[in-house]
Structure 1
Amino acid sequence: MPVGLEAWITQIPPITRGWLALSVLTSLAVQCQIITPLQLYFSPRAFFNYQPWRAVTTFFYFGSISLDFVFHLFFFMRYSRMLEESSFANRRADYFWLLLLSSIMLLCLSPLFNLPFLSSSLAFVPIYLWSRRHPSTPIALFGLITITAPYLPVALVAFSWLLNGSWKAAAGDLVGCAVGHICWFFMDVWTREMVGGENFVSRTPAGLKRLFGDPY
């Protein structure tokens, strides 16, 4: 591996790096016909029929290697990394807890919206949360237009819609934005403007903090 590429990979925070590596390896395994997408998708019937791994693999398959794959993977990696380096700096357990809760919510919503693969949905959670926590940050989207951060998720969903030619292709992204909004509300708005204090989203279990070696 080239030194420059290796250095770039090691600079990515651990949670984002692990997610990125598993996603790339999963798509490469499908591309090389080692496994098939039929072995990865999530459905409640398959899950309860002694196939529990589907509740995990559904979050790592972004589709076959294509423009849509590169699009989702690039923006997920970029904003997940920025969020982990800023809001969750030295708080790996808190970031993992956010993604775990988001994954559980997405698994519950999957049958309602007929979403067998939830990777892009989960990827939009850190994108949405980062955009809400940096409301005044200008973003040059594709080098063509400049928007402020809160409009980023909407712009990316619209681009995904255009890229795939169907609103159904963007349904998973929209569900991800909805879950991201729920997490942002309980982590930021609820604790700041309403009853205050910690809640099930902002309070990371002590056991998870011990596992990651984070301070209590």
Structure 2
Amino acid sequence: MAQSFQQEYMQMPPMTRTYTTACVLTTLAVQLDFVTPFQIYFNQELIFKRFQIVALFVNLVFLGSAFTIMLVYVWSRRNPYVRMNFFGLMNFQAPYLPWVLLAFSLLLGNSVIVDLMGIAVGHVYYFLEDVFPQQPGGLRILKTPRFLTYIFDRQDDPNYNPLPEERPGGFNWGEGQVAGEQPHQD
């Protein structure tokens, strides 16, 4: 069990592994009272010193939830055939997951502004990264800075062995035989 968890953890892309680790460590640090949430919040004074502008327009001090919903939105759009189950109550396709989470937040009485912001940012990212470049005359507007590609792109590493990309629900149409036809035996 521990070995498979470690293998799964090490097979995550570096940025995903870093973000996941940071979320877990930050949560533990807050829960164990090593830091308070107000020591790690979004500080509007830093907007003018370091040009931080995401939360300025929506008056949010904690952006982690919006970022998580954004990641859920992008994942759900890239995996449209994955079947989801919400607490055993309802089944749906993955693209509906952000909306189900938004409805659940609403039922719990939480503000949906954070979820809506995450969905909006996720949609813009998905459109600019996956949809627009595939259109006639489209191009990739979002490009990874070269220094990040240099640091994190491990294609030249002979030990790098990424998992094959899986799209659950996909089918290998055309790789079989004609229905009713006997297989050829050579």
TM-score, length basis structure 1: 0.62
**1:43, distance to aligned residue in structure 2 (A):** 2.6
* Distance across 1 between alignment mates of 2:78 and 2:8: 25
Q: Does 1:161 align with 2:101?
A: no
Query: Residue 115 in 1 paired to residue 60 in 2?
Result: yes
1:140 to 81, 85, 102: 85
Report % sequence identity.
Answer: 38
Question: Which residue in the other structure is 1:9 paired with?
Answer: 9
Cα deviation, residue 5, structure 1: 4.2
Match of 1:177 among 119, 138, 143: 119
State the TM-score, normalized to the length of structure 2.
Answer: 0.71
1:38 matched to 2:72? The reply is no
Residues 178 and 194 of structure 1, relative CA distance in 2, 3 Å threshold: farther
Counterpart amino acid of 2:69? F
The structure with more helix, counted as a fraction of residues: 1
Q: Which amino acid aligns with 2:149?
A: K
Superposition deviation, residue 161 in structure 1: 2.6
Superposition deviation, residue 179 in structure 1: 0.5
> 3-state DSSP class of the match of 1:21?
helix
Offset of residue 2 of structure 1: 4.6
Distance 1:13 1:189 in 2: 23
**Structure ranking higher on relative contact order (CA contacts 8 Å, 6+ apart):** 1
C-alpha distance in structure 2 between counterparts of 1:162 and 1:3, whole Å:
39
Residue in 1 aligned with 2:151?
A: 211
- Report the number of matched residues: 156
Secondary structure class of the residue paired with 1:178: helix
Task: Give distance in 2, aligned partners of 1:2 and 1:148.
Answer: 31
Q: Quote how far apart the aligned CAs of 1:37 are.
A: 1.2
Root mean square deviation, CA, Å: 2.6
List gaps (5 residues or longer) in structure 1: 53-103
